[in-house]
């Protein structure tokens, strides 16, 4: 699965996704660092990529339709890189990303919920 990881998440999230066989790219590696949310969203759409982000703005389905899927990570401000990667790893152990295309998925330390 193709995945674009937003700049508000560590590059280690993209590396984790790659290690699990996904075609993942961090926005910094895609030349999208500092771009607007709309530009990042549009880039994900052009690539046919699911978007992993912590930006709550992407949770607005009226503005950002989750055509390829949007995974919105919600975690406390004090979470460090290792804790964020651990949260993503736990989510990936429970969820099949191929079944989440077209959905907004909100992931938090307590679990995840899917909105279609």
pLDDT tens digit sequence for 30-68: 999 999 999 999 999 999 999 999 999 999 999 999 999
CB atoms within 10 A of CB 85: 17
Mean pLDDT of 22-33: 98
* pLDDT band with cut points at 50, 70 and 90 for residue 24: very high
Q: Percentage of residues in the chain with pLDDT exceeding 70?
A: 100
Q: What is the pTM of this model?
A: 0.97
- The set of residues, in sequence order, having a beta carbon less than 8 Å from that of 41 and lying 6+ positions away, is 51, 58, 64
Q: What is the mean pLDDT of the chain?
A: 97
């Amino acid at each position: 699965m193709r995945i674009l990881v937003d700049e508000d998440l560590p590059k280690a999230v993209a590396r984790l996704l790659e290690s699990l066989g996904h075609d993942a790219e961090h926005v910094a590696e895609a030349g999208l660092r500092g771009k607007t949310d709309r530009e990042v969203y549009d880039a994900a759409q052009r690539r046919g990529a699911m978007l992993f982000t912590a930006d709550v703005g992407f949770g607005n389905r009226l503005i950002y339709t989750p055509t390829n899927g949007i995974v919105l990570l919600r975690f406390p401000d004090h979470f460090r890189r290792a804790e964020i990667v651990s949260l993503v790893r736990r989510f990936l152990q429970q969820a099949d990303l191929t079944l989440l295309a077209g959905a907004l998925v909100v992931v938090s330390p307590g679990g995840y919920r899917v909105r279609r």
